[in-house]
Every structure is written in structure tokens, then in C-alpha cells.
Structure 1
């Protein structure tokens, strides 16, 4: 199991820029690929007594099952639906984890994979963590549901539909990242399905989200689905509290990442694809 610390600055901005951690708790630990039941115990036995503010968990939604190579970590980043069942546990176990961690003052931050679905070569069938049927070749994901109308194929102008030049912002945001089926988030239907998934998690009691692959989405589209989010569950948070949002930007070029910061406000900068530890940079417009 991998444990990563994410240091967050608290109280620099209001609303979505507030990490929602309790006073004096300013660190979020990333329990990468941990099971929900084990995270619940970790909250109670170690994290709460030692002053941690929260846990970033791996994506909780249904993903494709990959067997070659056998069950790699990155299958968690290839969604099939927004049902809550993965190798970390089922929905009941996820709910139990959120409740138990929240009850001891350690809040849950979900890694939200909403830029894309699984890879175009994912095949068809029920080889998914909940057993939902899908057909990647025809862009059919009935468990959401998404169909071919909900993807960016018509907007990408590269020869194979994938990103070929990371210096071209239109390719980065309109083409497929490593063959992953790119959602057309300018469509209100797609925005609504993404927000529906995130609101379901908010109602369960999560405190915020890491937005995976943020640089591959247009900032206006991100804002559009974030504007649809509910306030946090008043069982654990004051009325009107908004979810904390932080966003992933992978770059070897600090300048290009800094340009993203002008619109992302709070983002997680990763220097390379293999560097799982990042920095929170807070940049405000005006």
C-alpha cells in the first residue's frame, strides 16, 4: 500500500477553496488503493489521534477489469459507470468508511475521474468491477448511460483521435488521452451526469474532490459541472459549506502549469506521470 501526504493551506479563500478540515488539522493523507474498511480503521486508530485532517481515496466508481497486465493500479482510472463498487469495496463499505472517518474528524476527499471513460480498446462485455455491460468500441456505457453522442470524437482533428502534441491546447482538451474515451463536457447532459455522481458522494458525506486530468478539460466545462454541486451534508458540516475542489495538472513545464492556475485557482501540480507527490499552488484572479 502507498501512503502520500498532501499538505493543504487552509483558510486562504472562502467557499470551494476552503479544505473543510477541522481547526488545527491541515494535512490530508492519500491512502492509494486502500480498502474502505481499512481506511475506516486507519481514521479511528491513527489519523484522528495524530491530527490528520482528511484522506484522499482512490476512485470509488466502477472501472474496467484489466488482466494483461494483471489488475494494474491504472485500471481505477478507466471508468465504466458511476456505481460505487471497486476492489476497495462496495457502496455499503464506502458509506461506512465515510461515516466512521467523519465521526472522528477525518474527512474524505474523492479522486473524481470525470474527463473520460475506459480506453477505446477496452472491448465489450461485463469485465468491470460491478459487472456492468459496456461496449468501448461503440462508446456504449448503458450503466451511466453514455452513448457515442456524449464523446469528443468530432472535435479532435488528429489522425488517430489521440493527443499527438501536448503543446496544442486543443488537442490536449479535445482529443483522447492515451486512448481513453474523451467525454464531451460542453454538453449539458454530460455535465449533469458528472454532477449527479459527485452530488451522490456529497450526500454520503465526502468533503471534496480531486479532479483527475483537469488540464484535459476546458475550464469553462469544469466550472459548469462544479456549479451544479450541492453543499455538503449538514450532519458533519455547517449549512452552506461547499466541497473543497483541487485539480490535477501534470506538466514538465512549470510555465504551462502556471497558465492553468489562472483559471483553476487550486491545483495539484505533478512534475511527471510517475511523480505521485505534488504541491498545492493557490492562485487567485484579480
Structure 2
């Protein structure tokens, strides 16, 4: 039912936006069901509910990925959310009641909730302590949940921590940076994890991001999720590593995986100023099949690590997201977090230690200047909103071979839309072959879902060519519905 509702809601929104902009979608073009997600990192449940209603639903996002909803250790760093001490849905991000209300309110506007599920491990604290709502714990002791016999003791390294990612046994049986590693091969452990996931499903979540899935044997994860209701969406975090024994393909039999290779390949192209077509067949080298892939430019881990592009890259970061949203590979997820200079810094908090949701500027944009703690609000950038509309109109149209000209690049999604990008530091023009009708079209990257189209945001299609004049590090996109009347 959710998918039907999404098509109806989003179809009405697209029609409304097109009517406002003076454009017309041909009657044969039905908007595709939304498929784009957004990760709202370390955003409180009440703020996510408000964002669903005011921005995500109207823009046409299909799902939102939340930070982990469980009790955690006490601290101010972002990573405390990834150190569970109990499965109570109480945390710095809000209460159980607020979480349930958020899921309901997001669902009412057609946005599914995907919860980040931390099930590989518990806390990484050596000393005993009490969690956010007072649950007592020790490193390998969690009353009512797990005792010492339900954790791995790998005995392969001096501190029981992973040292060699070339060893499957270490990666899946030793501790990841001192995090108490659950024995997910144990039926009792699987049952306890399953009860937690079932509890979240009872509150209406649509599925889970399985954190650190690579550190659990694929058969263990498969056994845990097999007990979940049919239709539960499962997205496993499996970081692909060259010459490592554990690869994402092991985890595709029971759900999707986050394909880390996608951003790793796109980033260097943008940095070099040379864009080119991927393999346009059903299979892409060193990628899982499109139907199994979740793709992204950065996330909460990679923006603090080796991501080629983040919010700090401004226009180039938007350009990368535009190309991802224009592609026909995988399910894209946009990332929205907060500015930081200390990689461990958590989001700003209130006096009681709960996370402050912050606010978005009236018209957030890639060229904004951020102070530490400011929300980046990428989900509200005009270019992102415009590309969601573009993606809805383009649907499943085939990606055609791209063209490079004057250091710019572009391609068509057959008969439905065209995108162009200039990753370089000088103005460039490119004429992209298209089967779209002649006429003037509005660039939805520049104009978003605006009610009118200024001359500077117009692109002309004539004699089978869409002519783009692009500023440095600019992307532009047109679709059948953006034709100016």
C-alpha cells in the first residue's frame, strides 16, 4: 500500500510543480514512484517528523535513514549512538513515543523510515557504566540481554581487536575498535536481536540499515533477517576492500548493500575534470547489480574519512549528487548532516544533553558558509529538489551513451531528460544528443521547483541537440515536464 500511496502523492506533487512553472508533462508520461532516500544524520525524531512534513514529502523523497534508535553510552561524540547498552528506544535523539510519532507522521506524507540497526556489537567501554536512561552495563555484560558467553573472544590478536582485514576470521570474530563483538552465530543472540528489530517494526519502520554487516558472517545476518516479516527492507553496510576476503556480493541474497565503489569512482573523475560513461550494461565492474545497490556520495563515516567530496566542496558536491540522481544505477541516498572541524564532534545539544535539531536557512545552497554545528540541509538545496522531480519524470528510461565536449559532459535518459556537467574551472559548452522535442526547457538544477523560469535557467533543444552553457563546476538538467510553455 505504501508504494501506491507514494505514486499518488508524488504524482500530484509533480503535476502541481509543473503547473506552477508553466511547463507541461505529456499525458503519456506518468511520474515514477519515488526511490531516493536521505540520511538525516544525528537529527532528533521530532525534527525528522517536521522535516518529513515540510520538506521530504513535498520534495518526493521515498525514505529517510535515521541514526540508531536505542539506548547508548553517555557522551557528547557522534559515535556514542553506535555503542548500544540496551535496546530501549530511548536516546539523545528522543523518546520511544517521539520515535513512534515520527514514523507515523513521515508515513502520512509518503516517506518510509529506515532505522540504522547496530546489531554487530554493544559498547566499546572497558569500565562498567550506566547508559542514557540508566541501564547498567559492563564491556561484555548487559543485564537482561547478553552475558559474557554471548560475545566473541577471538584470541587472534593482542587486544582481541581486528588487525588484519585480510583475515576473514579476524574481521568477523575479533572486536572492531574495542566494540564488544556479539556472537551472532548463537541462536539466543539472534533471537534477542530479532526481538529488537521486531519492536521497531511494530512502531512502523519499513526496514533497516545493518551497521557493520561486514563484521558478521553473511549467513548470520541472513538468519536474523529471515525471521522478519516479508517486505522488510534490508540494506547492509559492507565496505568493499581490494583483495579482502569479504565482499558485498555475499550479502545480496537477502537485501541491498551500500556500494562504496560508486563514490570512489565518481570522485576522482570530478577532481580530474574528466567525466566518462560507466559500463552501460546491466553489470558494472566492481559493483553489485543495480537492483542490489544503494549508492551515495558520502555518509557519516566517509565524510570524516576518505570521501572525495563532502558538503565542504560546495558546487562540486552538488554536481556529484546531480550525476548520481541522474544515473540509472542503484537506489540513491542523499546525505545531510552538520558542519564540524573535529571529526569526533557530536551535533549541538540542549542543556539536558539531548541533540538540538537546529534549523535550515530559508534558502540553503551549496555555497553557504557553515559554523561548526550548523545543519547542511542538503535535502533542501534547490538542485536536489529539482533532480527529484527530474528523476520522477525520467523513470526507468534507458541511460544513453554520453558525450564529452569542451571539457563538459552530458547524457540523455532516452526521450525523457538530459543532464550535463562541467567539472572544470572554466566556462564550457556541450551539445547533448536527445530525442526530446524542440523547444526551450527550464534547468531544474538551477530553478529547483520554482514557480517561474528566468532566462538564465533556460536550455534550448533544436534538431536533436540540447545545448548547455555551463559555468565552472555547474550541472544542469532538463526533462519533458520542464518544457517552457
Shorter-chain TM-score category?
A: 0.7 to 0.9
Aligned length: 244
How far apart in 1 are the matches of 2:204 and 2:225? 17
Q: Secondary structure at the match of 1:48?
A: helix
How far apart in 2 are the matches of 1:175 and 1:62? 23
Match of 2:50 in 1: 41
Match of 1:103 among 96, 100, 108: 108
Match of 2:179 in 1: 180
Offset of residue 49 of structure 1: 0.9
> Is this contact kept in 1: 2:168–2:245, CA < 8 A?
no
Residues 228 and 43 (structure 1), Cα distance of their counterparts in 2 relative to 1, 3 Å cut: same
Offset of residue 21 of structure 1: 9.1
Q: Secondary structure at the match of 1:249?
A: coil
Offset of residue 251 of structure 1: 4.0
How far apart in 1 are the matches of 2:81 and 2:212? 13
Match of 2:141 in 1: 140
How far apart in 2 are the matches of 1:161 and 1:96? 41
How far apart in 1 are the matches of 2:250 and 2:96? 36
Residues 258 and 133 (structure 1), Cα distance of their counterparts in 2 relative to 1, 3 Å cut: closer
How far apart in 2 are the matches of 1:166 and 1:57? 28
Query: What value does the CA root-mean-square deviation take over the aligned residues?
Result: 2.6
Map Cα deviations across residues 161-218 of structure 1 (whole Å, 9 max, x no partner).
1101011111000000001000001100000011100011111100010000011000
Q: Which has the higher mean CA deviation after the structures are superposed, 182-191 or 269-278?
A: 269-278
1:167-206 maps to which residues of 2 (within 5 A)? 167-206=166-205
Match of 1:268 in 2: 258
> Is this contact kept in 1: 2:85–2:142, CA < 8 A?
yes
Match of 1:130 among 115, 130, 133: 133
Match of 1:60 in 2: 69
Offset of residue 43 of structure 1: 0.5
Offset of residue 227 of structure 1: 1.3
Match of 1:243 in 2: 232
Mind listing any 5+ residue stretches in structure 1 that lack a counterpart?
1-18, 232-240
Offset of residue 264 of structure 1: 3.0
Match of 2:86 in 1: 81
How far apart in 1 are the matches of 2:226 and 2:233? 13
How far apart in 1 are the matches of 2:199 and 2:301? 31
> Is this contact kept in 2: 1:79–1:117, CA < 8 A?
yes
Offset of residue 274 of structure 1: 4.0
Mind listing any 5+ residue stretches in structure 2 that lack a counterpart?
8-32, 265-297, 308-320, 332-485
1:93 equivalent in alignment to 2:98: yes
Match of 2:353 in 1: none
How far apart in 1 are the matches of 2:165 and 2:227? 30
Residues 182 and 111 (structure 1), Cα distance of their counterparts in 2 relative to 1, 3 Å cut: same
Residues 205 and 274 (structure 1), Cα distance of their counterparts in 2 relative to 1, 3 Å cut: closer
Offset of residue 258 of structure 1: 7.9
How far apart in 2 are the matches of 1:100 and 1:242? 21
Please report the TM-score for the alignment, with normalisation by the length of structure 1. Answer: 0.79
How far apart in 2 are the matches of 1:256 and 1:40? 40
> Is this contact kept in 1: 2:240–2:247, CA < 8 A?
no
Offset of residue 74 of structure 1: 0.6
Match of 1:259 among 240, 247, 259: 247
> Is this contact kept in 1: 2:240–2:248, CA < 8 A?
no
Offset of residue 247 of structure 1: 0.6
Please report the TM-score for the alignment, with normalisation by the length of structure 2. Answer: 0.47
Offset of residue 259 of structure 1: 2.9
> Is this contact kept in 2: 1:192–1:228, CA < 8 A?
no
